[in-house]
Amino acid sequence: MDPAMVKNLALGAVPPGVLALLFFLLAWRRRPAERAGPALVATPIFMALAVVFTYAITFQTPRLAPLAAFDWLPIIAIAAGVAGVFAALERLPLVVRWTPAVLALLFAAWAGAKNAIATSWTPSQTGAHLLEAVVFGIVLLGAGHSLVSRRAGVMPVASLMLFAGAACQLLVLGFFSMKVGQVAGMGASMAIAALPVARWRPATRVGPGGMVFIVVMTLAALGQGRLYGQATPEFARIYTALLTLSLVGGALVAAGLGERCSARIRTTLVLGVVALPLVAGLGIAGKKWQDEQRQQGSEPDPYAVTTE
């Protein structure tokens, strides 16, 4: 890999990870679990600011008047952060608490497709796109809420890491969208950084706010990859289904197991289910890539997105 590409990848991954490590260490410093409220509310605010900052130093100064779908991502990050704050305010009525998350999904889907909506899509195409994004998002937010929101420790953080990390891999390797993949990867970086803190201080929670932020941002990036990436529609559909299955399967297994087994076994089983579709997906992608190489000739293709 080119040194310049390594630098670019590091710029997108290391700052959010380091910032998240500091944030989670500070936020969960000797904090009893019952007094977690401020930390849970601060989590989506921190995440939004970290993504905007990393976007600015890695790609470009955020634009107040976005032109391309990619320009909208920092604004979507702010919207996801605000939605996360509402979700973290657990005393709010259910509708008030979750409506901003649905609106953030809708906004992300609209902003990502804005140019197509303005130039070539029919109203029915636009409606179908927005509806699909919102329904798909609600399913994943529901699974994420069940798996992550109320649970503390390693398992919920690792589940989010696997989800966002797999989306990042998909976008970079499958869709040829390095930049958008890196934005999804920022969520994975922050989750990776929270892992040692959660291991060290088991009361650590990402909470509903952090979950909403990571799921909305991951879906925003994934939505842009599906619209503008260069993967075949079949590949995009298969991998999106696997990502959905990952989070939904993990939530179902976690709910089914309940307290019937030790925390260690529960974590292992849930993460195994969360990771299984993703591992299978990577296997499919790897085999497909190998087949393409064989079709192109005996020599391996010297170009990959990460070699530039």
H or E stretch including 158? Answer: helix 154-169
Find out whether 204 and 152 touch, Cβ atoms under 8 Å.
yes
Structure-derived torsion over alpha carbons of residues 78, 79, 85, 87, reported in degrees to the nearest 10 = -150
How many helices (DSSP H) and strands (DSSP E) are in the chain? 11, 0
CA distances from 269 to 94, 235, 252 (A): 31, 27, 11
**Which of 70, 98, 107, 136 contacts other proteins by CB under 8 A?**
70
Residue 106 C-beta: closest distance to other proteins, Å: 19
List for the chain the helix, strand, coil content (%; round to 5).
80, 0, 20
How many residues bind other proteins (CB under 8 A)? The answer is 32
**8 vs 54, beta carbon nearer other proteins:** 8
Contact characters 158-177, other proteins, x per CB under 8 A: -----------------xxx
- Counting Cα atoms < 13 Å in the Cβ hemisphere of 308 gives 11
Asked whether position 54 contacts other proteins by CB under 8 A, the answer is no
- 28, 228, 235, 239: residue in contact with other proteins (rule CB under 8 A): 228
- Residue number, 150 or 294, with CB nearest to other proteins: 294
Q: Is residue 79 within 8 Å of 212, Cβ to Cβ?
A: no
**CA atoms of 87 and 99, how far apart (whole Å):** 9
Asked if residue 69 binds other proteins (CB under 8 A), the reply is yes
Q: Does residue 149 touch other proteins according to CB under 8 A? A: no
Dist. CA 188–CA 54, nearest whole Å: 13
Nearer to other proteins, 22 or 292 (CB): 292
Q: Verify binding: residue 72, other proteins, rule CB under 8 A.
A: no
Applying CB under 8 A, among 17, 42, 71, 161 the residue interacting with other proteins is 71
* Cβ closest to other proteins, residue 71 vs residue 215: 71
Give the contact letters, 3-32, x = binds to other proteins (CB under 8 A), - = no: -xx-xx------------------------
Q: Check: CB of residue 17 under 8 Å from CB of residue 189.
A: yes
Is position 59 an interface residue for other proteins (rule: CB under 8 A)? Answer: yes
**Residue matched to tokens 């990571």:** 214
By beta-carbon proximity to other proteins, the closer residue of 115 and 244 is 115
Out of 14, 26, 60, 256, which residue is the one contacting other proteins (CB under 8 A)? 60
Residues that bind other proteins (CB under 8 A): 2, 4-5, 7-8, 59-60, 67-71, 115-116, 175-180, 224, 227-230, 296, 301-305, 308
